Amino acid sequence: MKTKLYPADSRGHADHGWLKTNHTFSFANYYNPERIHFGALRVLNDDWIAAGEGFGRHPHDNMEIITIPFTGAVLHQDSMGNKGVIKPGELQVMSAGTGIFHSEHNDSKVDPLTLFQIWIIPNKKNVTPRYDQITISDWAKKDEFYQILSPNADDQGVWIHQDAWFNMADLSSGKELEYKLHREGSGVFIQLIEGNIEVSGNLLSGRDAISITESSSVKIKSTAEARVLVMEVPMHW
């Protein structure tokens, strides 16, 4: 097993006033040659967006884009005619494929919006663009993993064009869970959302993260109430 710690304060940071963002991997004006991607995981942005603000209409192509809000709500509009609001407990996915334009704004005129936006490199290029939005809180069970994303349209959660699996877990203090990989040769990126956990002797808090490769499973133990996002992605495709 190989591990690499990603302390929260080691991320790239930008403060635009209306947008405060932290980049785990190289993005926009943040460039770190040692942090371009983790396997197919290309972008992991931790965003704070002021009330009424957001990203105007802009393009994407050949990327799987996942948005998970934690506070506030995202107002989404795109060139496929989709318009909707994504709230905490929900998840949005877009397969950009041959190309899509969209905008994202904080739907509130009063409260800030916080979210993760995650980009996964697809295993198929130039697919027909698509959009999906689901409620994930219905599956949440305390002290258990619950799947929110996979490669399979008939599995729980959304699906994408890549052999990736995302799970979340809400942990009581002192709880230990073991995550078993679906695919040999894949890696696991564990992003702490809140609380404190221990992974392979490494203590994580706040928004720390850790990657694991060359292992078929990984144990996560909470040392306080915690919420985690576990992303299994191929290292080669």
Structure tokens belonging to residue 110: 């009063």
Average pLDDT, the chain: 97
Query: Does pLDDT of 79 surpass 90?
Result: yes
Mean pLDDT of 179-189: 98
Query: Does pLDDT of 169 surpass 90?
Result: yes
Enter the pTM of the model.
Answer: 0.97
Please give the CATH architecture assigned to the domain spanning 139-234.
Answer: Sandwich (2.60)
Residue ranges per structural domain of the chain? 12-136, 139-234
Q: With contact defined as beta carbons under 8 Å apart, do 195 and 171 qualify?
A: yes
Q: With contact defined as beta carbons under 8 Å apart, do 150 and 165 qualify?
A: yes
116/134 Cα distance (integer angstroms): 16
Residue-level pLDDT at 198: 99
Residue-level pLDDT at 237: 81
Q: Does domain 12-136 have CATH number 1.20.1530.20?
A: no
Residue-level pLDDT at 73: 96
| Category of 133 on φ-ψ map: left (φ > 0), alpha (ψ -120 to 50) or beta | beta
pLDDT in tens, 117-158: 999 999 999 999 999 999 999 899 999 999 999 999 999 999
12-136 and 139-234: identical CATH topology? yes
181/187 Cα distance (integer angstroms): 8
152/174 Cα distance (integer angstroms): 33
